[in-house]
Amino acid sequence: MDIGKLLTTFGKNRSTMFDEPVAIKSRCLHCGTEMYGRSDKKFCDTRCKNAYHNGETERSRRYRKSVMAAIEVNYAILDDLLKNRQLTVAVEKITPRGFSPNYSTYHRKKYPRDEYGCFDIRYNRSDSRIYNIHRIGPDIGEP
C-alpha cells in the first residue's frame, strides 16, 4: 500500500471529523451558556463553577443565620419572662415581640404534652399559651 495515499486518506477523515458541527450536549448550570464536549460537563469554566458553588453556600449560610436569629430572639424573650417571674404567657402576647413558636433547640414528647426548649430554658406549649417556663441547671443536665 502506498504510504502517501494512506496519509491523504487519514488527513481527509481527520479534517472532516473536526469540520462537522458538534451537537449541544448541555448548558452551564450558572450562566446557561451552551457547552460542547463531555456529556456530563456542568459548567463552562472554573469561574462559573466557583460562582455557582459560592452561591449555594451563601444561600445555606443565610438560611442558618436567619434560623439562629429567630432562636436568639426566642431565647431573649423567654429569658426576660423568667427574670420577671412570669412562668405562663399567652402566645398572642409574645408573637408581636418577635417570638417564633416554630423555632426551638429542643423538643421531647413527654406524656401528655410536648416539652420544648431554647438552649437552657424549657417550656410547654399549647396552641394558645406557653407555660411551665423554667431554666435547667447544670445539676439537672439533660442531653
Q: What is the pLDDT along the chain (143 residues), one digit of tens a residue?
A: 555 554 454 444 444 455 555 556 789 999 999 888 888 889 999 999 999 999 888 999 999 999 999 999 999 999 999 999 999 999 999 999 999 999 999 999 878 888 999 999 999 998 899 999 999 976 544 44
N- to C-terminal Cα separation, the chain: 84
C-alpha to C-alpha distance for 86 and 33, rounded to whole angstroms: 60
Structure letter (DSSP) for residue 39:
T
C-alpha to C-alpha distance for 55 and 51, rounded to whole angstroms: 6
Residue 32 backbone zone (phi > 0: left; psi -120 to 50: alpha; other: beta): left
Extract the C-alpha cell encoding 26.
448541555
Alpha-helical regions (H) of the chain: 3-19, 46-83, 91-94
Residue whose C-alpha cell is 458538534: 22
